[in-house]
Amino acid sequence: MLTFTNRTALITGAGRGIGKAIAETLAKHGVTVICVSKSAESCGATAAAITASGGKAKALAVDVADGAAVAQACEALLKEFPAIDMLVNNAGITRDGLLFRMSETDWNDVIATNLTSCFHWTKLIGRPMTRARWGRIVNITSVSGVMGNAGQANYSAAKAGMIGLTKTLAREFAGRSVTVNAVAPGFIKTDMTTEFVNNPEASAKILEAVPLRRFGESADIANLVTYLCSEEAGYITGQVFNVDGGMAM
Ligand code: NAP
């Protein structure tokens, strides 16, 4: 049994997929969860489902790629929740294409949503966390950021950037007992990967590179994130954990 004592977590991208599973799993452990997504419908649905099953949740619709909107949302949020003990930077998008065909808009959108959003949220939520001298930050990166992936120059650069950010902030925040780690999923069955998972040829090719020969589930990521957020994980910081069926050994 993991220990969580009156803790509150903010999870970005909690409307669907991996972020939703993280919010639900933390809530099952008694953590109050603030579920962020771009659309009010999806974070609202996650928060409503958690509340309906006896958990504590709040929905917050904000575009994580918009630094001013994030700052405005955080100002109001920190009045309601002066102590947000855990931050999971999970919101992400892909806009795939080979470099010579990639537009600057696709480059900028992916960097802003996946990487720059972590800079904004961590500055805003991390400050009260370091003052409280306890905190957990988990950044959801990707095997693409660890290994690179043809067709994902923007995404793999953003995800590799998150790894650099994780290691640096782990060093900056260590004196305040705030841990910062990254989780790098492989191919997980969510809306993001539907087109590959549902295509027999594409999925057979992908699974050739996965020693466990299957796609992962959102719960595979949520279970590790929950552990990393717990009291028990207090001596782990600056690490990148691949959860990928052995892809990036
Ligand atoms: P998903 O099913 O597409 O869900 C993405 C979530 O992020 C949604 O809730 C979405 O909000 C939110 N989001 C996207 N852009 C946003 C923005 N600008 N502002 C606020 N929220 C935004 O994705 P997923 O597969 O769960 O992926 C979660 C994370 O894991 C991502 O960072 C992804 O890069 C990473 N990852 C996934 C895989 C995989 O195989 N699935 C592999 C490696 C890494 P709405 O619901 O409002 O649209």
- Pairwise CA distance, residues 34 & 58, whole Å: 5
Output the pLDDT for position 84.
98
Query: Rounded to whole angstroms, what are the CA distances from 52 to 14, 33, 44, 47, 57?
Result: 16, 14, 12, 9, 10
pLDDT, one tens digit per residue, over 86-121 is 999 999 999 999 999 999 999 999 999 999 999 999
| Closest ligand 1 atom to 216 CA | 40
Among candidate residues 121, 134, 155, 187, the one labeled active-site is 155
155 is catalytic: yes
Output the pLDDT for position 37.
98
**How is residue 93 annotated by DSSP?**
-
Q: What's the pLDDT band for 122 if we cut at 50, 70, 90?
A: very high
- Pairwise CA distance, residues 234 & 183, whole Å: 16
Ligand 1 center from residue 56 Cα (angstroms): 22
Q: What is the mean pLDDT of residues 150-172?
A: 98
Output the pLDDT for position 58.
98
Output the pLDDT for position 138.
99
Ligand 1 center from residue 175 Cα (angstroms): 31
Q: What is the mean pLDDT of residues 171-180?
A: 98
Output the pLDDT for position 25.
98
What topology does CATH give the domain 8-184+216-242? Answer: Rossmann fold (3.40.50)
Ligand 1 center from residue 221 Cα (angstroms): 13
Q: What is the mean pLDDT of residues 202-210?
A: 97
Strand partners, 33: 9, 57
Structure tokens at 92: 């992400």
Which of 93, 207, 210, when mutated, tests ligand 1's pocket best, judged by the most ligand atoms within 8 Å of its CB? 93
Question: Does pTM top 0.75 for this prediction?
Answer: yes
Nearest to 73 by CA among 86, 64, 82: 64
Domain boundaries, the chain: 8-184+216-242
pLDDT, one tens digit per residue, over 44-91 is 999 999 999 999 999 999 999 999 999 999 999 999 999 999 999 999
**How is residue 216 annotated by DSSP?**
B
Q: What's the pLDDT band for 232 if we cut at 50, 70, 90?
A: very high
Place of tokens 């997504």: 37
Output the pLDDT for position 225.
99
Q: What's the pLDDT band for 151 if we cut at 50, 70, 90?
A: very high
